[in-house]
Amino acid sequence: MILLAAVILTAGCINSKANVTSPQEAQENSTNSQENSTVLEITQLDQINTSLEKGPVLLKLGAEWCEECQELNPVLAQVATDYAGRATVVTVDIDKSPTLADYFGIYVIPDSSVIVGIENGTYVYMQQDGNVTTERSTARILKIEGKEVYENVLDLALQNEKS
């Protein structure tokens, strides 16, 4: 209920220019992110699409006030370092980007998934069992998990990319 209220209140206060990144800026940020092995905070789907051109995207949706989300940040930073140049790790702050929260159907955070492509305008996700799907609900990694869970799904995504 509180999350819903926060999303509704935040949605009414968005400065559309403040959170908008041009496709060129998204490309530069994504490139810089991979070169520096950092986690990229995104605000638009175009930023995911640009990152997908380089490989799989590990997406985490969370919020600053979420303790588990904050605990997950160092894990994702290490994954970003370990997979630099092969995959991109991105986060979405659902309070800053309520449109993305709605798009991905967030009901609990942290909520992560690995996006491996786009098929007919819909994201394709890697499931933990190695299957791909356009149904994000079956590919979610909910709450906080150990680094090996994220690495396993990314490894499966990278293997899938080669085949």
How is the chain classified by DSSP, letter by letter?
-HHHHHHHHHHTT--TTTT---HHHHHHHHHHHHHHT-PEE--SHHHHHHHHTTS-EEEEEE-TT-HHHHHHHHHHHHHHHHTTTT-EEEEEETTT-HHHHHHHT-SSSSEEEEEEEEETTEEEEE-TTS-EES-GGGT-EES---HHHHHHHHHHHHHHHH-
Q: Choose the catalytic residue: 69, 89, 106, 126.
A: 69
Instruction: Look up 13 and say whether it is catalytic.
Output: no
Q: Choose the catalytic residue: 66, 101, 141, 156.
A: 66
Residues involved in catalysis = 66, 69
